């Protein structure tokens, strides 16, 4: 299935937020989404993040949510925060289209790598990333501190 892949606009943030909630439900943590659409709008206006969306018949059915960061060891890096395709459209090739478009954004921004996390039990995602020759880092633990 061929989707239209385009850069998101502020008007797309509600659909993007809905996909984030869908991802949180899939990841068994629907209660963990506390950022509001207002939070998204403010961060979008501040150029904190960018999103590519996939559309079918003018409906947003998938997205990659990313931002630039920096690796002190490697240089410019694109960080993939969220990657989700609506459940009805999974296994249709839309995820591959979004992933390829994300890598192209990284190339255009002259990033040396794209980095992300995947849950260790998410076998469909792991299989997808392996198919795309992703490097899986071992020995690293994810840490965070709420402010």
Our answer to whether residue 70 is catalytic in this structure is no
3-state secondary structure of 30: helix
The owner of tokens 């979004």 is 98
Please answer whether residues 24 and 117 qualify as being in contact, where contact means their C-beta atoms are separated by less than 8 angstroms. no
Q: What is the pLDDT of residues 108-132, one digit of tens each?
A: 999 999 999 999 999 999 999 999 9
Residue at 125 is within a domain = no
3-state secondary structure of 114: strand
List the Cα angle 106/108/83 in 5-degree steps: 30
Residue at 92 is within a domain = yes
Q: Domain total for the chain?
A: 1
Range of the domain at 96: 4-117
Question: Which residues, 6 or more positions from 76, have their beta carbon under 8 angstroms from its beta carbon?
Answer: 68, 70, 109, 110, 111, 112
Please answer whether residues 51 and 16 qualify as being in contact, where contact means their C-beta atoms are separated by less than 8 angstroms. yes
**Which pLDDT does position 11 carry in this prediction?**
98
Q: What is the pLDDT of residues 20-69, one digit of tens each?
A: 999 999 999 999 999 999 999 999 999 999 999 999 999 999 999 999 99
Q: Residues 40, 99, 129, 146: which is the catalytic one?
A: 129
The burial class, CB within 10 Å (0-12 / 13-18 / 19+), for 53 is: buried
Which CATH number is 39's domain given? 3.40.630.30
**Which pLDDT does position 100 carry in this prediction?**
98
Residue at 147 is within a domain = no
Please answer whether residues 31 and 50 qualify as being in contact, where contact means their C-beta atoms are separated by less than 8 angstroms. no
Kindly state the tokens that stand for 105: 């954004």
């Amino acid at each position: 299935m061929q989707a239209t892949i385009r850069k998101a606009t502020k008007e797309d943030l509600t659909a993007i937020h809905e996909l984030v909630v869908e991802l949180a439900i899939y990841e068994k943590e629907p209660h963990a989404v506390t950022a509001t659409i207002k939070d998204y709008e403010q961060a979008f206006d501040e150029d904190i993040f960018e999103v590519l969306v996939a559309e079918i018949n003018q409906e947003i059915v998938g997205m990659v949510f990313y931002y630039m960061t920096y690796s002190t060891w490697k240089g410019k890096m694109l960080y993939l925060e969220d990657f989700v395709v609506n459940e009805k459209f999974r296994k249709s090739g839309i995820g591959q289209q979004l992933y390829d478009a994300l890598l192209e954004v990284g190339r255009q921004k002259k990033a040396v790598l794209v980095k992300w996390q995947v849950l260790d039990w998410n076998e469909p995602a792991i299989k997808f990333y392996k198919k795309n020759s992703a490097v899986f880092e071992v020995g690293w633990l994810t840490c965070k501190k709420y402010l």
